[in-house]
Amino acid sequence: MPYGTDNAHRRRTGDHHADRQRAGDRPPFLRALYRDAYCPDHVVDRGRAVLPALCERVETGRPADLTALRALTHAATEEFDDLQAVLEEAGSEI
């Protein structure tokens, strides 16, 4: 079954993937998104990956000033913005 169809089915029936049941390994601030069938897990996973990547870039790059730090955070914001297209492909939106 195509992913978009599966996602629509889950919204209608409340049938969720088993990994949505295992919220213990999910950060508390993302658990609601993982439980929500409107937000596909693979999209939440991609968004979740942005934050540690940003931290790594800050820690390894050691921005010299606020302007350099803003450049790094702006890039992370663009990564989140890019998820809009992925959500649309899955039949969802931001």
DSSP letters spanning 11-39: HHH----HHHH-GGGS-TTTHHHHH-TTS
User: Can you point out the beta strands (E) in 20-89?
Assistant: none
pLDDT at 94: 67
Residue-wise pLDDT for 43-92, tens only, equals: 999 999 999 999 999 999 999 999 999 999 999 999 999 999 998 888 88
pLDDT at 16: 46
pLDDT at 37: 83
pLDDT at 59: 96
pLDDT at 7: 46
Residue-wise pLDDT for 1-57, tens only, equals: 344 444 444 444 454 444 444 545 788 888 998 998 888 999 999 999 999 999 999
CA dihedral (20, 47, 28, 59) positive or negative? positive
**The model's pTM:** 0.63
